[in-house]
Amino acid sequence: MPRGLVLLLGAGASVITVAGIRAAAWLVAPTLLALVIVIVVSPVIKWLRRHRVPAWAATLTLVLLVYGVLVAFGMVVIVSFANLATLLSQYGDRFQALLANVTEAMGRLGVGAAQLQQVADALDVGKLLSAIGAVLVDLTGMTTSVVFLLGLLLFLSVEASGMDARLLEIAAHRPHAGVAMRDFASRTRRYLVATTIFGLIVAALDAIALAWMGIPLVVLWGLLAFVTNYVPNVGFLLGLLPPALLALVISGWELMLIVIVVYTAVNFVAQSLIQPRYVGDAVGLSAVTTFMAMAFWAWVLGPLGLLLAVPATLLITAVLVDIDPRANWVAALIRAPARPGHQRPRPKSE
């Protein structure tokens, strides 16, 4: 077949596939999340098995560990959102006064009164509280998805103990496929472990700084900083915006600027200078590839795609690129350049 026709058919098939994934995002996103979680914690089963723990006890330990983390995370989020709603109601008058001052300043700069009124109506505290209530309703309405995720985690955890044998069987028939899947699991685990460690460090430093400055709900903002650390490139801004706005409402521009400076200093050192030296090698993706993957998976899978952008890209790379030795040129395009004097590890199939 002519190469142009092959490319055209491939592009059409890709569009159909992406549209199907986007339509089934409610199923694909929780499945991918459960797969990633099991990949990260599966070494626990191997460690327990090496210490002669029965298979059923090792699996039960893994399931309880994962469920405990998810339940604790959900409880903290729900309680923190409830406290945030109460806090916003307390500072409603101050927020309106600040908004009036901003509106007056913008008016002096020549912004029309109609546009200012629209902005003021959109930023009404009552609407913010209603939005928070809607978020809480959505959280309680996700029961079906949560039950599906928990059930999927249970079944994947049970299957995790026999995954090595399955990979060996795959490698016996398709050596490159076995190597690619092992490499995907290894890179995903290294990336998430490194990101989790640095996320905990950044969250702890941000929470301590916010507590020292007297900002309320430091647990919520620390948790937000930890979660947004998994979002490539723009996660820092997502974690900074809420506490900075709260500081502005509570004490004014000075405290907001202090929050911005502290967050920027902590996150710049940890996320821009130190973390890329470890996470970049673990992932093996260039910065451009990571940014494009974040935008693409957020569009396909929704907000959860921001957190799963890197693991999803690693999975697609393993299935479409690493599994085929003839596609090494594609891997060369999307990989991060090796640091001087540093040799990037390669899969054994290469």
For 92-120, the pLDDT digits (tens) are 677 667 666 666 666 666 655 555 555 55
User: What residue type is assigned to position 245 of the chain?
Assistant: L
Residue 259 to residues 208, 242, 245, 253, 263, Cα–Cα distance (Å): 12, 11, 9, 10, 6
The distance in angstroms from the start CA to the end CA of the chain is 29
- Mean pLDDT, rounded, of the chain: 75
pLDDT for 268 equals 78
User: What span, in angstroms and rounded, lies between the C-alpha atoms of 71 and 17?
Assistant: 34
Amino acid at site 181: M
Closest listed residue to residue 70, CA positions, set 46, 41, 45: 41
| Residue 26 binned pLDDT confidence (cut-offs 50, 70, 90) | confident
Evaluate if residue 31 carries a pLDDT over 80.
yes
**Does the pLDDT at position 208 exceed 90?**
yes
Which residues are CB-contacts of 214 (< 8 A; sequence separation ≥ 6)? 250, 251
In whole angstroms, what is the distance from residue 149 CA to residue 206 CA? Answer: 30
Per-residue pLDDT band for 323 (boundaries 50, 70, 90) equals confident
With 0-12 CB in 10 A as exposed, 13-18 as middle and 19+ as buried, what is 254? exposed
Picking from 28, 26, 305, 48, the residue whose alpha carbon sits closest to that of residue 157 is 48
The phi, psi pair for 262, rounded to 5°, reads: -65, -50
* Predicted TM-score of the model (pTM): 0.75
Q: Return the HEC string of 287-333.
A: HHHHHHHHHHHHHHHCCHHHHHHHHHHHHHHHHHHHCCHHHHHHHHH
Among 19-28, 165-174, 228-237, 319-328, name the one with the lowest average pLDDT: 165-174
295: alpha, beta or left? (left if phi > 0; alpha if psi -120 to 50): alpha
The torsion angles phi and psi of 253, rounded to 5 degrees, stand at -65, -35
| Closest residue by Cα to residue 40 from 226, 233, 187 | 187
Q: Token pair for residue 258?
A: 């202090």
Whether pLDDT at 155 is above 50 = yes
Write out pLDDT tens, residues 129-153: 455 445 444 444 444 456 666 666 6
**Burial grade of 334 (CB within 10 A; 0-12, 13-18, 19 or more):** middle
Q: Where are the domains of the chain?
A: 24-161, 162-350
One-character DSSP codes across 105-162? HHHHTT--HHHHHHHHHHT-HHHHHHHHHHHHHHHHTTHHHHHHHHHHHHHHHHHHTT
What's residue 128's pLDDT? 52
Residues sharing a CB contact under 8 Å with residue 91, sequence separation 6 or more, in sequence order: 125, 249, 250
Phi, psi at residue 335, to the nearest 5°? Answer: -75, 155
pLDDT at 144: 45
306 neighbors 297 (Cβ within 8 angstroms)? yes
Look at residues 156, 141, 140 and name the one whose alpha carbon lies nearest to residue 31.
Answer: 156
Report residue 236 as tokens: 């820092």
**φ/ψ bin of 302: left (φ > 0), alpha (ψ from -120 to 50), beta (otherwise):** left
CB atoms within 10 A of CB 255: 18
Angle at 121 between CA 120 and CA 124, to 5 degrees: 85
